[in-house]
Amino acid sequence: MNDGHDTKRGFQQQKDELLSTGSKKSADRYIISRLLSYVKPYKHLLFWAILITFAGSILGPLRPYITKLAIDDYIAKGNINGLALISLVLLGIILLDGFKQYAATYLTQLIGQKAILNLRMDIFRHLQKLSIRFYDRNPAGRLITRATNDVEALNEMLSSGIVTIIGDIMQLLFIVVLMFFIDWELTLIVLSILPLMIYATLTFKSKVRKAFQEVRGHLAKLNSFFQEHISGINIVQLFDRGESEYKKHVAINKEYRDANIRTIFYFSVYFPLIDLLSSIAAGLVIWYSGVRMLKGDITLGVVISFVQYIWLFFRPLQHLSDRFNILQTALASSDRIFRLLDEKDIVEEPENPRMLESFRDEIVFTNVWFAYNNDNWILKNISFRVKRGEKVAIVGSTGSGKTTIINVLSKLYGQRKGSITIDGTELSQIPEQSLRKVVGVVMQDVFLFSGTIKANLSFGKPGVSDEEIRHAAKTVGADRFIEQLPGGYEYHVNENGAGLSAGQKQLIAFVRALLYNPEILVLDEATSSVDTETEQLIEAATANLMKNRTSIIIAHRLSTVQHADRIIVMHKGAIKEIGSHQQLLAEKGLYYKLYLLQHPEKIHLRTG
């Protein structure tokens, strides 16, 4: 895990330096060093894994050599006792080799799993900190791919990658040394194949790297598509878009398949090629030793051990390229994971934080300008104040910027012009935690997590007692429908509350807010229409929520608006009018028009 800012800042610097040199190798080096930081806490395990792998890498190469000794020095000379002894030695080596494989596999997997756990926690933590703006830009499917597939690719590398690769390389070195020791001429024959093999492997490596990047990219697209179409399945079905969305899916799916086929193509060319080269080496060795055996200057033991060595020598080579594949995938994955972890679009905590103990006086907006993107101003010069205990309603047509005011006030989006103060403290100086304690927001769309009703109700205040939950539900009027659900408060809600009506979800959100009990209530009234009975329930619940509380409400219901102390009328991002219901009606301005639009039956009352 990355502990503290220093490490992170260090990495950033290192990365900037490396990336400014522009080479891919240095970028790889940066990624690997950052990966190592995740392994660092398990240094002691790593030490044993490396020791066992490295020390054990001599065991395999020793086996053909012992075989040679057994044939030439004992069997050929009829030394039966010696043969028994050397057979025992061979058995010992085989047993040790088995133990080495067990210990090395177990230890490297252990390190991998532990490191990956930390990485996943870092990703989740970071995702929680990222601003809503970031989520506007990044589809959920892509982020889920990061946290699952990409992390899995990394896991594979950490658990079977680097240590094993170095072990393989050491084994190759031991083999070469022992081969030279036995017979240098045959060794040169075997090695003459090596340049071809390395050339093939390097070419393969670079092609596969590119191909895998494409595969991952297409996979992320595919996941996003799936995710969206599962979340939005009702829209797809309602608009009868099944067929056309299916066709879109086919196109994305095909791209993914083609990218996969390209990688498979490289693999299917590479492996037979390596096989062919090893067979050629074996053929050459056998032919040449045959010639020398006829002349009597080479023993049978040497030939047999060399045939074994060729097999031992080229197999790790193949493994090595196999592991390159894992390494390449993992590097590409890590690159994306670290980019995500480096994403700076986080909600900045203030430099000179000022805690808000409680709300005493007033909220003041002064000449606030805000844009989601660049200079596309959504809020234009907004100024208003809300005194403690006041109920202020915001009205206006769709898209006029009402929800945006809430987004800005609750610091879901930063960066604006003008000032917003609570009790004289600039909003940007108030730490998020402190702000959330004072300001409670009920969004227009209610999100429910999968879990019990109870857990959803107490989401904002975990650990609250059952009685309090029941009491709050009763106050809001949600108790009736909850008690009718199978299991009552223990009823299991599916993700996003499928199976509950819009009105019921609203009431649940109200209970949530009531339990949270904020001093300032910010409410974005749902526009979804509900039956008259529920409408009355919600009306009463809203009044109950607002009781003895400073409230800013984006209102769609006449009842809410009428009970407000003041009404702010928004039009295209600017405030058009401010006043009470009666004042605004008397002004016969925009509010009057909106009012008549919604309540045409009142025309004769006003005009007649």
Ligand X SMILES: Nc1ncnc2c1ncn2[C@@H]1O[C@H](COP(=O)(O)OP(=O)(O)O)[C@@H](O)[C@H]1O
- CA 42 – CA 130 distance, rounded (Å): 29
Q: Give which of 50, 377, 349, 331 is closest to 208, Cα–Cα.
A: 331
Q: Which stretch binds ligand X (CB under 6 A): 204-212, 331-339, 391-399, 466-474?
A: 391-399
Q: Which of 60, 112, 401, 503 binds ligand X (CB under 6 A)?
A: 401
Q: Which of 442, 461, 440, 444 is nearest to 520 (CA)?
A: 440
Q: Within 10 A of 32 (CB to CB), how many other CB atoms are there?
A: 15
DSSP string of 546-564? HTTSEEEEE--SHHHHHH-
403 lies in the site for Mg ion, by CB under 5 A: yes
Between the alpha carbon of residue 465 and those of residues 126, 469, 471, 477, 593, the distances in Å are: 31, 6, 10, 18, 48
- From Mg ion, ligand X, none, interface partner of 64 (C-beta below 5 to 8 A by class): none
- Cα radius of gyration (the chain): 35
When asked if residue 372 is in the footprint of ligand X (CB under 6 A), the reply is yes
Q: What's the half-sphere exposure (Cβ side, CA atoms, 13 Å) at 404?
A: 25
Closest approach, Cβ 268 to Mg ion, in A, equals 55
Q: Which does 544 bind (CB under 5 to 8 A by kind): Mg ion, ligand X, none?
A: none
What sign for the dihedral angle of Cα 70, 73, 77, 78?
negative
Choose between 219 and 378: whose C-beta lies nearer to ligand X: 378
Helix (H, G, I), strand (E, B) or coil at 274: helix
Q: What is the CB neighbour count within 10 angstroms for residue 376?
A: 8
Binder to ligand X among 396, 440, 477, 497 (CB under 6 A)? 396
Work out how close the CB of 415 gets to ligand X at its nearest, in angstroms, rounded to a whole number: 13
Task: Spell out, one character per residue from 358 to 397, where the chain touches Mg ion: x when CB under 5 A holds, - when not.
Answer: ----------------------------------------
Q: Determine, following the binding rule CB under 6 A, whether residue 496 of this chain makes contact with ligand X.
A: no
DSSP H helices, 161-299, are 162-182, 184-192, 194-231, 233-238, 242-295
If the CB atoms of residues 92 and 399 are measured against Mg ion, the closer one turns out to be: 399
Is residue 403 close enough to count as binding ligand X by CB under 6 A? yes
Q: Answer positive or negative: Cα dihedral of 190, 196, 199, 201.
A: negative
Assess contact for 274 and 199: CB atoms under 8 A.
no
Helices (H), 343-459: 402-409, 432-438, 453-457
CB of 572 to ligand X, least distance (A): 9
Based on the shown chain and the rule CB under 6 A, indicate whether residue 398 belongs to the binding site for ligand X: yes
Q: Is 402 one of the binding residues for ligand X (CB under 6 A)?
A: yes
> What token pair was written down for 470?
């029941």
> Which residues make beta-bridge pairs with 369?
417
Contact 57, 105 (CB under 8 A): no
- Beta-carbon neighbour count of residue 601 at 10 Å? 8
Binding of ligand X at residue 428 (CB under 6 A)? no
Beta carbon nearer to ligand X, 454 or 557: 557
- CB nearer ligand X, residue 317 or residue 568: 568
Residue 396 site contact among ligand X, Mg ion, none (CB < 5 to 8 Å, cut-off depends on kind): ligand X
Spatial separation of the C-alpha atoms in residues 386 and 409, rounded to whole Å: 12
Min separation Cβ 444 and Mg ion, Å: 6
User: Which does residue 378 touch among ligand X, Mg ion, none (CB within 5 to 8 A, set by kind)?
Assistant: ligand X
Helix (H) or strand (E) holding 370: strand 362-371
Q: Identify residues 113-142 at the interface with ligand X (CB under 6 A).
A: 136
Quick one: 150 or 525, whose CB is closer to ligand X?
A: 525
Q: Which two tokens stand for residue 171?
A: 């084994």
Q: Does 594 bind ligand X (CB under 6 A)?
A: no
528 binding Mg ion? (CB under 5 A):
no
Under rule CB under 6 A, residue 445 binds ligand X: no
SS3 call for 524: strand
Whichever of 110 and 590 has its CB closer to ligand X, that residue is: 590
Which of ligand X, Mg ion, none does residue 136 bind (CB under 5 to 8 Å by kind)?
ligand X
Give the distance from CA 63 to its chain's centroid: 47
Shortest Å distance, C-beta 403 to Mg ion:
3
Cα angle 17, 20, 23; round to 5:
105
CA dihedral 250, 256, 261, 266 (to 10 degrees): 170
Residue selected from 171, 400, 458, 534 as contacting ligand X according to rule CB under 6 A: 400
Evaluate whether 353 touches 401 at the Cβ level (below 8 Å): no
Instruction: Establish if 399 lies at the interface with ligand X (CB under 6 A).
Output: yes
Count the site residues for ligand X by CB under 6 A.
12
Name the minimum Å distance from CB 321 to Mg ion.
56
Whichever of 183 and 524 has its CB closer to Mg ion, that residue is 524
Residue 67 engages Mg ion in binding (rule: CB under 5 A): no
Q: Which stretch binds ligand X (CB under 6 A): 37-45, 149-157, 370-378, 446-454?
A: 370-378
Nearest distance in Å: CB 573, ligand X: 7
Report in angstroms how near the CB of residue 444 gets to ligand X at its nearest: 8
Could you report how far apart the first and last alpha carbons of the chain are, in Å?
Answer: 73
Residue 372 near which of Mg ion, ligand X, none (CB within 5-8 Å, type-dependent):
ligand X
Torsion angles phi and psi, residue 555, rounded to 5: -105, 140
**Nearest approach, Cβ of residue 409 and ligand X (Å):** 12
Please identify, using beta-carbon distances, which residue of 326 and 441 lies nearer to ligand X.
441
Q: Quote the least distance from Cβ 406 to Mg ion, whole Å.
A: 8
- Please state the closest distance from residue 394 (CB atom) to ligand X, in A: 8
**Is residue 429 involved in binding Mg ion (CB under 5 A)?**
no
Q: Running DSSP on this structure, what letter comes out for residue 148?
A: I
Query: Side chain identity at 38, as an amino acid letter?
Result: Y
Q: How far is the CB of 564 from ligand X (least distance, A)?
A: 17
Residue nearest to Mg ion (CB): 403
Q: Which residues bind ligand X (CB under 6 A)?
A: 136, 372-373, 378, 396, 398-404
Question: Which residues in this chain contact Mg ion in the complex, by CB under 5 A?
Answer: 403
